[in-house]
Amino acid sequence: MAKVPAYHTNSMEEPPKNREVHHDRDDCFEGKKIEKKHWEMGTGNKPRCKECIKLG
Residues within the interface to Zn ion (CB under 5 A): 23, 28, 30-31, 49, 51-52
* Closer residue to Zn ion (CB): 13 or 21: 21
CA 54 to chain centre: 14
Q: In angstroms, give the least distance from the CB of 15 to Zn ion.
A: 14
Sheet with 3-8: strands ordered across: 23-25, 3-8, 40-41
Q: In angstroms, give the least distance from the CB of 13 to Zn ion.
A: 18
Q: In angstroms, give the least distance from the CB of 41 to Zn ion.
A: 15
